Structure 1
Amino acid sequence: MTETGTTETGATETGTYVYAVGRNLDEELLTRLDGVGDAPVRVISHRDLDIVVSTVDLDEFGETALRTNLESLPWVEKTARRHDEIVRRAAALTTALAPFRLVTIYRSDDAARARIEELYDDLTPALDRIDGRSEWSVKAFNRARTTTPAAVEAEAPSSGVAYLQRRRAELRSRQEIAADQQLLAEQLLRDLVPATAATRRLAPQDQRLTGRVEGMALNAAFLVDDDRSTEFFALVNELRARYPSFDVELDGPWPPYSFAVLDKP
């Protein structure tokens, strides 16, 4: 998503790309990094907040160019990787960082400051909420079940009616298994909540994204106190044993994308 107020009048026109907003960031460490478009990362300030930015060429990042570039998977992947790298580096330098969405661009540093002023009353509590916390991801995949002997006929069915009856029974069995797995996924989520500060259940990812044949029963993000991360890790391992029908994946810690990105455009 892009938030821009840019115009494009010449090849040399530039805009200000915003990665994140935080507190007490070390500008010297961040300015050693190259941002999207290979421009140096900078830190500009507004009130008590530090804004992580870089200057971008509007020939590549202006509104017109983005309509084309956002349709290019290689361009999006390259830009997203660099964006995420900068956010992660910045997050390592502070206890409270609110990442901005990919390709959030303003016409100038002053325009970026003006937008932060508009968001200030929302940003401040968001930063308070995530201070000293990180995001963890838990995904639960359905393990393949071995077909029971009762579900397999060694010989061809004696009639078309018998065949249809068997197929209906198999369908009911699959539906019941799917319903059971969904109930288990909801219980798994509830079992994880007590060790976290906040939770967001996300839509299951498509198999083309996961690269797995098994369906995803649970996709959730958890905001965890940094001083409780070992406890959360141990809880996930304990729950793996309690839910053998799932292959549970844990990933993190990450900057709190799911809990700090503002809902406002």
Structure 2
Amino acid sequence: MAVYVYAITAAAHPLRLEGVTGVGEQPEKLRTVNGGSLAAVVSDAPDGLKAKRRDVLAHQSVLERLMADGSVLPLRFGAVAPDEEAVQQVLEERADAYRERLSALDGCVEFHLKASCAKEALLREILLQSEEARRLNEEIRSGRGGQDLQIALGELVAGEVQLRHESFAAETVEALRPLARDIRVSDPTGEDFVSVSFLVEQARQSDFAAAERDLAEQRGEDFDFRLHGPLPPYSFVWMPEALEISPWVRSPKF
């Protein structure tokens, strides 16, 4: 029977699962699969699994219970293995890599930060600091400039915005880096100039959150900082050389 996999832990983890149930319309009972020095927390995989709020919260509740008692390799919602034997085989084959990751994540949580700056504020700054941008803008507003000048101004502004975004992102990461054990930077989307995950020791999470608030205040009201966490350290489960923590199929239906 296919099994739904929530997380990997050390076999010595307390694995206190009383009162917690798994995904499914009729919540599935949790159990463990042992593989040498490791264990995986699983349940039967319900048919037609969908990323419903009920099931996502159930998945999260299992991880939170496990994280309260020790280091955990959290799998994202939807990891399904063919059967318990497949889980046990992977635990044994990848034991060294999983133990290394468990050690690296021990006592840590993840905070994910995204931030953006108002377009209007960036444009004002560019026009104040760039003589060429002011010249082009004035010619266009006076009616002397045609489409070529508008294109030139657009390209100049886009380049300046990119430079400022890169600078803001670097400064943000460097300001918070001293409070993190590890960092994973991803490509920002939309209007954001930074999207970065921080691996933070649980004992330092209050200090980290306070440092982020201070940074947001220093930047001012033109900036929008959004900090999410503490979270299971999903972004740090993979090793730097991109070894996947889970070879199993992820197939939730949205």
What is the rounded CA distance, in whole Å, between the counterparts of 2:163 and 2:141 in structure 1?
A: 30
**Matches of 2:104 and 2:87, distance apart in 1:** 23
Cα distance in 1 between the residues matched to 2:75 and 2:213:
32
* Normalised TM-score (structure 2): 0.77
Query: In the alignment, which residue of structure 1 is the partner of 2:2?
Result: 15
Quote the residue 1:189 is aligned against: 173
> Is the aligned partner of 1:102 residue 2:83?
no
* Alpha-carbon shift at residue 87 of structure 1 (Å): 1.8
How many residues are matched?
A: 226
Q: 1:86 to 1:170 in 2, by over 3 A?
A: same
* TM-score computed with the length of structure 1 as normaliser: 0.74
Deviation per residue, 1:19-53 (Å, 9 max, x gap): 101234444x4142221222112233333333211
Q: Distance in 2 between matches of 1:60 and 1:238?
A: 46
Determine whether 1:36 maps to 2:23: yes
Where does residue 142 of structure 1 map in the other structure? 117
Residue number among 83, 87, 105 corresponding to 2:59 in the alignment: 83
Quote the offset at 1:235 in angstroms.
Answer: 1.7
Contact kept? 1:106, 1:112, Cα under 8 Å = yes
> Which residues in structure 2 correspond to 1:207-222 (within 5 Å)?
207=190, 215-222=191-198
Letter in 1 for 2:233: P
Correspondence for 2:183: 199
Alpha-carbon distance in 2 for matches of 1:130, 1:163: 55
Selected match of 2:41 from 46, 49, 52 = 52
Q: CA deviation at 1:101?
A: 3.7
Structure 2 Cα separation of the partners of residues 190 and 183 of structure 1: 11
Write the distance in 2 (CA, Å) between the matches of 1:121 and 1:170: 53
Does the CA contact (< 8 Å) of 2:17 and 2:30 recur in 1?
Answer: yes
Separation of aligned partners in 1, 2:78 and 2:225: 32
CA distance in 1 between partners of 2:163 and 2:176 (Å): 20
In terms of mean alpha carbon deviation, does 248-257 or 161-170 score higher? 161-170
CA displacement, residues 194-246 of structure 1 (integer Å, 9 cap, x when unaligned):
211100001224x4xxxxxxx01100001011111122122212222333453
Preserved contact between residue 20 and residue 61 of structure 2 (Cα < 8 Å): no
Name 2:230's counterpart in structure 1: 253
**Cα distance, 1:95 vs structure 2:** 2.4
Aligned amino acid, residue 194 of structure 1: P
| 1:139 positional shift | 0.9
Q: 2: distance between equivalents of 1:25 and 1:152? A: 67
Matched, 1:115 2:90: yes
Q: CA deviation at 1:156?
A: 6.1
Task: Provide the rounded CA distance (Å) in 1 between the counterparts of 2:141 and 2:78.
Answer: 60
Residues 161-200 of structure 1 mapped to structure 2, 5 A cutoff:
161-162=145-146, 164-166=148-150, 168-200=152-184
What is the root-mean-square deviation of aligned Cα atoms in Å? 2.7
Q: CA 1:103 to 1:204, structure 2 compared with 1: closer, same or farther past 3 Å?
A: same
Code of the aligned partner of 1:222: F
* 3-state SS of paired residue (1:32): coil
Structure 2 distance, partners of 1:249, 1:16, is 35
For 1:220 and 1:120, the matched residues in 2 are separated by 28
